[in-house]
Structure 1
Amino acid sequence: MKPTIMTAAILATALILGAQSADAHSKKEETQPADGAVLDMSPSAVAMRFDMPMRVTLISLTDQDGTAHDLTRTDNMQPVSEFSATPPVLPTGQYTVEWRGLAADGHPMQGAFSFEISN
């Protein structure tokens, strides 16, 4: 192989291996309510379970009009594998939970899930 082809092959291999190791970062495994759930009543908690401890640095709950609803959290911003926050009693509507955090390995993570309350 010529040096330029060899260099390209090494770089390609490094990129593939790097992408595979990125999968080792913490990830959200479960939410409560489940993403896309349709509920009969307001949930008692908004929760997430991670495969590794996560420091949730931001969590927000908004409705279909973009109105924010406060969440009461008890994790004291400490890394947890199970995060839970208490919402107020929510009226009928569609809601989105957005979150950001730092995984145990220091990588920033973020995500969102949604649910609906119907009568």
Structure 2
Amino acid sequence: MLGVAGPALAHNVLVSSNPLAGSSVETGPATITLTFDQPVNGGPGLNAVSVVSPDGGHWEGVGEPTVRDNVVTAQLRPLGPAGEYTVSYRILSADGHPVTESLKFTLTKAGSGTPAPASEIAAANPAATSTAGGTADGGGGVPIWVWILGAVVLLGGGVFLALRGGVKEDSR
């Protein structure tokens, strides 16, 4: 064996949500709760949650989501129209990479709330307006598979040279 494998680093995975992904609720929740398989890194500007109604209105409350270990909680405004709501989130994973995903739930009975003005959402949570179009790997930098492939090629080249015995000297 050439080496010992270290612990695998993996992005956080959503294991539960309230409301549940794909569920139908009669009354709008006051908060969105996202539970992950690993702790989430917390701090100003690191995590964002947005909630968008079928008509494009934003329903997230003022302020950033709170992080407690592996649970992220975001306050909501009272919901408005009935229909499918999209919860988009961006968190800073335990391994230091951003994770951006979304889930949907359906409000079956219209509420009486009004959506947040765009200026309020941008000022309170600037990242919330950009979460819907992101990618799970953060959308920037070199993908991890490129680094892994490079390491495998270098390791393979080293093994090849070691087994080959190096360069033979010319006999004169």
Whether these two folds match at TM > 0.5 is yes
Q: Which has the higher strand share?
A: 1
TM-score (norm 2): 0.50
Distance 1:25 1:111 in 2: 12
Give the conservation status (yes or no) of the 8 Å contact 1:53–1:104: yes
Residue 82 of structure 1, CA deviation: 0.8
The residue correspondences of 1:20-39 to structure 2 (distance < 5 A) are: 21=8, 24-39=10-25
Q: Which residue of 1 aligns with 2:161?
A: none
TM-score (norm 1): 0.70
Provide, for residues 69-117 of structure 1, a one-character-per-residue CA deviation record: whole Å limited to 9, x for no partner: 2334452xx5731111121111222210101111111122111011111
Q: Which has the higher contact order (CA 8 A, sep 6+)?
A: 1
**51-60 vs 100-109, which moves further:** 51-60
Runs of 4+ aligned residues of structure 1 deviating over 2 Å after TM superposition are 70-74
Q: Which residue of 2 aligns with 1:47?
A: 33
Give the conservation status (yes or no) of the 8 Å contact 2:48–2:65: no
Larger radius of gyration: 2
Unaligned runs of 5+ in 1: 1-20
Q: Is residue 2:70 matched to residue 1:81?
A: yes
Q: Which residue of 1 aligns with 2:85?
A: 95
* Percentage identity across paired residues of the two chains: 26
Provide, for residues 39-71 of structure 1, a one-character-per-residue CA deviation record: whole Å limited to 9, x for no partner: 111112211001111135221111111111233
Work out the number of aligned pairs and report it: 97
Q: Which residue of 2 aligns with 1:13?
A: none
